[in-house]
Structure 1
Amino acid sequence: RVGLNNELFIMHKFRSLHIDTPSYSEKPDSTDDERITPVGKWLRKTSLDELPQLFNVLKGEMSLVGPRPEMPFLAKDYEPWENQRHLVRPGMTGLWQLSPRRQGTIRDGISVDLEYVENLSFWNDFKILLRTFKVFWDSNTY
């Protein structure tokens, strides 16, 4: 994945897709995605597939809150203004994951990520973490 200052790193996750399945999808949050295994559906529903990213946080490659790390093949086509999302460490959760615009385009997601970068603060991160825990406990992830 692409991290802080466009540095590449390996993002840890539990496998939730069938082997030899492309990891990229235009609709990654779809509940009827045939690429996802039955155990993978449960891991995603409970958000446990993201838990190994705590290793990335401990290694300093990621933060708890920030724009989600992008796949290199998508980030290579970013315009200079879009690359500003890489001025901060990517996060396990972020403003885009909690946004009503989540079902929008990649460009919508980048816009939300840039809102986060422009308003970076401990207080905003704290509010995003609280909202993330609320979504997790309400089980409205997928």
Structure 2
Amino acid sequence: MNRTETKFHNYNNGYLLIKRLFDVVISLIGLIISSPIILVTSVAILIDDFGPVFYSQTRIGKNGKEFKILKFRSMYIDADKEKIGLIEQNEVDGAMFKIQDDPRVTRVGNYIRRHSIDEIPQLINVLIGDMTLVGPRPPLPEEVKQYTDYDLNRLVVKPGCTGLWQVSGRNALDFDEMVELDLTYIKDASMLLDFKICIKTVWIMICPNNAY
């Protein structure tokens, strides 16, 4: 696949229907099973840095539509205001911002990020239809402003809680590699591939792979 053309062969109505049913069922089961983790994490966040347990942020979804993503709060309150002063420390090439030892991350936040526990609330985003379980990472509005026409191809489908990027190296990969993995997933999408990625994601939550 070159950087000028992307084809989406497998996103037919049958696949989308089954994928949506899969999303709803697994998200509901996931929220029920993880309820003890949700409770413990909420208490830990309050003890570590008293304040809101959840964090909501604007992200870009399918076809450029904005939505509010829900996560466990892993940073100190008002951490977004400090981002400008850290831009020069960005460790990821391209339209993303990541630094491994981000001073804005709390002690509990560091742990829940490493094990992807902070993303469990995104199952609610899946239930209401803003996201899917498996798909491209949902970008920030300021990231999308830096996208090329080719990069925008990753926005033709719903963003996911997990995807090929997350199970293939995550922050060890640069932006262009992430885009290629997302577009590869879109081109080869199937329920079997979704299931494999979900299984790998559960394993990575137990044995982290460069998440921070």
Distance 1:139 1:110 in 2: 21
Deviation readout 1:23-52 (Å, 9 max, x if unpaired): 86734362x321101121122133221011
Counterpart of 1:35? 104
- Aligned length, in residue pairs: 141
SS of the equivalent of 1:68 reads coil
Counterpart of 2:66? 8
Counterpart of 2:202? 133
Deviation readout 1:53-107 (Å, 9 max, x if unpaired): 1110001000111111000101122111111111111011110011147423212
What's the % identity of the aligned pairs? 41
8 Å Cα contact 1:13-1:51 kept in structure 2: yes
Instruction: Name the one with the larger strand percent.
Output: 2
Which blocks of at least 5 consecutive residues in structure 2 are unaligned?
Answer: 1-58, 92-97
Matched, 1:98 2:157: no
Q: Which amino acid aligns with 1:8?
A: E
SS of the equivalent of 1:11 reads strand
C-alpha RMSD of matched pairs (Å): 2.0
Q: Which amino acid aligns with 2:181?
A: V
TM-score by length of 1: 0.88
Q: Which amino acid aligns with 1:70?
A: P
Instruction: Name the one with the larger helix percent.
Output: 2
8 Å Cα contact 2:171-2:210 kept in structure 1: no
Counterpart of 2:179? 110
Given the superposition, is the C-alpha separation of residues 39 and 21 from structure 1 closer, same or farther in structure 2, using an over 3 Å criterion?
same
Matched, 1:20 2:78: yes
SS of the equivalent of 2:69 reads coil
Distance 2:207 2:154 in 1: 29
Which blocks of at least 5 consecutive residues in structure 1 are unaligned?
Answer: none
Larger Rg: 2
